[in-house]
Amino acid sequence: MAESKGPEKLYKEPAVRVPTLSRLSTIAKSLGLEMEESELMAYRGAISDILADTYQRLYELPDPKLPVKYPRTPGYRPSPEDNPYNAWYWRCDIKGASSGKLHGKTVAVKDNTCVAGVPMMNGSLTLEGFVPDVDATVVTRILDAGGHIVGKSCVENLCCSGGSFTAATGPVVNPHNKTRMSGGSSSGSAALVAGGQVDMATGGDQGGSIRIPAACCGIVGLKPTYGLVPYTGIMPIEFTLDHTGPMARTVYDTALMLEVMAGYDGGLDPRQPRDLKVPEYTSLLTGKIDNLKIGILKEGFGLKNSEADVDKMVREAAEQLGTAGGAVVEEVSVPMHSDGTQIFGPILQIGGDRMMFEGAGFGTSAEMYYDTTLQEAFSRGLKCHSNDLSKSCKLVRLIAKYLHEDYNSVFYGKAQNLGRELCKAYDAALEKYDVLILPTIPKKAPVFPQENPPMEEYLERAFESIPNTSPTNITGHPALSINAGFSDGLPVGMMIVGRKFDEVTVLNVAFAYEKIRDTKI
């Protein structure tokens, strides 16, 4: 019996459905367009043709994916007994190459970063259940260097907090004192490194989110120069603020991890310059600083919420680089630093809302790698779980929507223009001084807010730590936090800021201080 032939083309659902006249009418009115039904019908026909041709074909073309090179299993959510700081979001076991710079090192990956086959939540119910199908570039580089990825670290709700209490998975406690926060948004990464559960971790930094938790937990955290480390495969917040970098217990391990993570990503991340060169940072850690000039940044001290012991300890630590290290140490003033947070706010709020919330996590108008699987998951999750966003995320949404609709987001443009002036102000100081030094955060690790806190307390705990860190997110200068010692049993962070792409000097000053500090102990 002859086999019957089926139809040449089977029916399939269109990639994009043709909008109804009612939907088009609503859209037209929202755009201030007055149209008769006949005109709307004509536009509907044109749209139908475009959707059937361009968008259907685009949908059918295979979506390029980042490579996944190393085998792994999905892992598991650890029990409370195995998660003493509530710092693990997920445990996994991904072994990298059999040799390399990170061979033998255990690594936690911040949970805003894609690891294929391992769940990713980014601290928010909007992404609960999402499993990436790609490895971020930094993940591949860590594995290529022999690193052993043992889990994903908890983060703040969509990374929008400098505290450690907004994640949907609960608060992350400080290993030095469980009544204190570990800092955010890389809260889990800092706690795991400080608590000895991993050797090193990745962090993300849009306003201080590597350096704040590093200061709170007494470890080393480096926000590299903007673009030095590719952001490919990591959920963005705001294109001009996004940074990712290393966190470790020592300066050497921080430098080692940076060697592995840094470098040009073949054009997948337009934040990066094409002529990027990566030194071997570890081989340049001499600890010799007697040829350097160090500026103590006046405006970083004596803030409204500064603690006197923090200011005193950081100033004394900076001066030791002169007395014990031989550097010239002087006070320097950059008055515009005091306005850094006010310049930063509109960029984060208006820009972050447009890119992350309105732009399905990635926005538009940048020639970069778009993780469309993540975009789809976040778009769906946002529709279901907007009410479950943290108060800090809701604040961003509300103020950005208001300013966009009533003031056309003009404040975003002005903030970006002023950001360039702030960059020039730092550059002018860094022409005279090799690095600038100031407290990473104005105080020791803050206490957790009370249960069901009023709005004022909630937002204060979320954003009180950013005055000194957020300005360098705008300008892109490298900034490292190192522990300057302890006061009342809590770490005190000292921040070292350097010239763009001069991580060598920043790391070497930190290395010199680390030796001075540890010799005293």
Q: Which of 280, 130, 138 is nearest to 203 (CA)?
A: 138
3-state class of 100 per DSSP?
Answer: coil
Whether 110 is a known active-site residue: answer yes
Q: One of 185, 187, 392, 470 is an active-site residue; which one?
A: 185
Q: Dihedral of the CA atoms 359, 361, 365, 367 (nearest 10)?
A: -160
461: part of which helix (H) or strand (E)?
A: helix 455-463
Distance, in Å, from the CA atom of 152 to the CA atom of 197, rounded to the nearest integer, reads 12
294: part of which helix (H) or strand (E)?
A: strand 293-297
Whether 185 is a known active-site residue: answer yes
Q: One of 105, 110, 444, 500 is an active-site residue; which one?
A: 110
Distance, in Å, from the CA atom of 194 to the CA atom of 486, rounded to the nearest integer, reads 14
Q: Dihedral of the CA atoms 406, 238, 184, 278 (nearest 10)?
A: -160
Bridge-based pairing state of the strands 220-223 and 293-297:
unpaired
3-state class of 148 per DSSP?
Answer: strand
Cα dihedral 357, 164, 83, 88 sign? positive
Q: One of 153, 182, 186, 209 is an active-site residue; which one?
A: 209
Whether 209 is a known active-site residue: answer yes
Cα dihedral 474, 478, 483, 485 sign? negative
Return the number of other C-beta atoms located less than 10 Å from residue 66's C-beta: 20
Distance separating the N- and C-terminal Cα atoms of the chain: 91
Return the number of other C-beta atoms located less than 10 Å from residue 95's C-beta: 15
Distance, in Å, from the CA atom of 95 to the CA atom of 73, rounded to the nearest integer, reads 11
By annotation, the residues acting in catalysis are 110, 185, 209
